[in-house]
């Protein structure tokens, strides 16, 4: 299955990428996404730490991408080793090089695996992490059953999933309407190609035999004045949006999107009214301890 669809603005840290995605800005977008979401993601890691039943020594990163999740988890859980899984050899190689540059190679093991084929067989881990990756799976319930088996009894699975794509330009300003209509096309696409996106993963986790202990929104709502990285993030995202839907937009909307990216006064990297509004959802679920499973 092709996990990364052409219409997707970004896929988070997912488990499969076409080779060309590495060269058309996806790697940069994933890194920008992690930088813009830095504070909410720190809060997510704090939630995990609050719920663990013992020190986290082993972590499975499902769809590691460029490694932003891997390295954030390594920083937060100082004694842990991460098994980083992705189906893209290019992503895995880049992650491996980054680990070496950061002096963390001894704490990172990389595995080039397509999760639609199988979850790698490892010693059960304390924590499994999946950020914006599960909605790409061909058969999420089958893969989740394998993920559960990869977690030790009492261990956790933390899932962060997209609820929608980020918006940047107010609807009542130049370019805002075009962005809104482009996003409407993406929503229609994902209903066909990625029906699990935006769904209730809590129900799936429960069916897989896990106990959901936390379910909350992860909200990003940034208003001006914004750091330059936010403009870069908006531009990288909108470039992928335009690429995905340009052939289905009216000429005036294509021109309006171009004006958001052309370096002129209306470019999102120069606009004073730029904002970021998006929501993701966090579920943290526990594999029941053996004594609980028998009861």
Residue with tokens 């999102």: 268
Of 137, 290, 155, nearest to 201 by C-alpha is 137
Mean pLDDT of 265-276: 95
Mean pLDDT of 208-235: 96
**What is the reported pLDDT for 15?**
36
Mean pLDDT of 155-172: 93
Q: Is 65 within the bounds of a domain?
A: yes
**What 3-state DSSP class applies to 76?**
helix
Q: Is 33 within the bounds of a domain?
A: yes
> Is the Cα torsion angle 157, 284, 96, 19 positive or negative in sign?
positive
Q: Is 1 within the bounds of a domain?
A: no
CA torsion angle for 83, 86, 89, 92 (degrees, to 10)? -40
Looking up residue 154, the CATH number of its domain turns out to be: 3.40.50.150
Q: Is 130 within the bounds of a domain?
A: yes
Mean pLDDT of the chain: 89
pLDDT tens-digit series, residues 129-149: 999 999 889 899 999 999 999
How confident is residue 195, by pLDDT bands cut at 50, 70 and 90? low
Q: Is 189 within the bounds of a domain?
A: no
Q: Is the pLDDT of residue 48 over 90?
A: yes
pLDDT tens-digit series, residues 237-263: 999 999 999 999 999 999 999 999 999
pTM of the predicted model as reported, rounded to 2 decimal places: 0.88
**Of 216 and 192, which is predicted with more confidence?**
216
**What is the reported pLDDT for 136?**
86
Q: Is the pLDDT of residue 10 over 70?
A: no
Q: Is 2 within the bounds of a domain?
A: no
Show the domain range for 206.
Answer: 19-164+195-223+277-290
Q: Is the pLDDT of residue 291 over 80?
A: no
The domain tally of the chain equals 1
Q: Is the pLDDT of residue 22 over 50?
A: no
């Amino acid at each position: 299955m092709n996990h990364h669809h052409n219409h997707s603005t970004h896929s988070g840290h997912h488990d499969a990428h076409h080779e060309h995605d590495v060269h058309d800005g996806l790697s940069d977008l994933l890194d920008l996404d992690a930088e813009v979401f830095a504070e909410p993601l720190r809060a997510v890691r704090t939630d995990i730490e609050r719920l663990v039943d013992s020190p986290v020594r082993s972590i499975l990163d499902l769809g590691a991408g460029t490694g932003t999740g891997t390295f954030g988890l390594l920083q937060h859980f100082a004694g842990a080793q991460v098994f980083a899984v992705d189906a893209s050899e290019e992503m895995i190689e880049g992650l491996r090089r980054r680990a070496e540059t950061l002096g963390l190679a001894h704490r990172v093991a990389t595995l080039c695996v397509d999760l639609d084929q199988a979850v790698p067989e490892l010693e059960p881990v304390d924590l499994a992490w999946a950020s914006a990756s599960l909605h790409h799976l061909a058969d999420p319930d089958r893969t989740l059953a394998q993920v559960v088996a990869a977690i030790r009894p009492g261990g956790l699975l933390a899932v962060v999933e997209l609820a929608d794509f980020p918006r940047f330009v107010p609807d009542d300003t130049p370019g805002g309407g075009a962005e809104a209509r482009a996003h409407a096309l993406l929503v229609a696409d994902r209903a066909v190609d990625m029906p699990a996106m935006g769904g209730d993963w809590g129900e799936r986790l429960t069916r897989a035999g896990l106990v959901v202990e936390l379910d909350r929104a992860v909200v990003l709502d940034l208003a001006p004045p914004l750091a330059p990285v936010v403009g870069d993030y908006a531009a990288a995202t909108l470039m992928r949006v335009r690429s995905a839907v340009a052939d289905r937009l009216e000429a005036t909307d294509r021109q309006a999107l171009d004006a958001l990216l052309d370096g002129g006064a209306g470019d999102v990297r120069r606009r004073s009214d730029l904002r970021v509004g998006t929501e993701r959802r966090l579920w943290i679920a526990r594999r029941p301890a053996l004594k609980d499973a028998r009861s």
